[in-house]
Amino acid sequence: MVYYQKMTPEGYQEIKDEIARLKKDRPRRIKILQEARSMGDLSENSEYTTAKMELGHLQSRLRYLDKQLRYSEIIQKDESGTIDLGSNVTLLFDGDDEAEKYRIVGRMEADLAKGKISFDSPLGQALMKQNILI
């Protein structure tokens, strides 16, 4: 059974943008590898080893991101009046003076530093399907 990652349209676009950036960078990395290869003995060529490793990381990241897109399910924001994927929420925690703003996103998009919490995190699960209070 295939599991599809739920994500917002913005999260999907961010992955597409990163793929485009990496594909644009790949020819430069290949050129660096070719230049390092031409320096002679590969067994003691640290530039070649580093360039080969960096190109491998880039290729691996591209495969990973491509898989994320292939197995993603884009969820449009629900206008039903309940909190769902893509909803923006403002929370005031006990003992805090300031309210915190968060966006409910898919697992791959979650980044607490940017105010994005996963729908399947403990906080995300507690918020999902709650009525929106204005």
Out of 3.30.70.1450, 3.90.650.10, 3.40.1390.30, 1.10.287.180, the CATH code matching 5-74 is 1.10.287.180
Query: Which residues have C-beta within 8 Å of that of residue 81, sequence separation ≥ 6?
Result: 131, 132
Nearest CA among 10, 27, 14, 132 for reference residue 82: 132
Domain ranges of the chain: 5-74, 77-134
Regions of the chain with pLDDT less than 70: 42, 134
H and E: helices and strands count for the chain:
3, 5
What pLDDT was estimated at residue 67? Answer: 95
Asked whether this chain's domains 5-74 and 77-134 adopt the same fold, the reply is no
Q: What is the pLDDT of residue 29?
A: 95
> How far apart (Å, rounded) are the C-alpha atoms in residues 105 and 116?
6
State the pLDDT at residue 134. 62
What is the C-alpha to C-alpha distance for residues 105 and 6, in angstroms, rounded to an integer?
A: 8
pLDDT given at position 52 = 92
CATH of domain 77-134: 3.10.50.30
The tens digit of pLDDT for each residue in 63-83 reads: 999 999 999 999 887 777 888
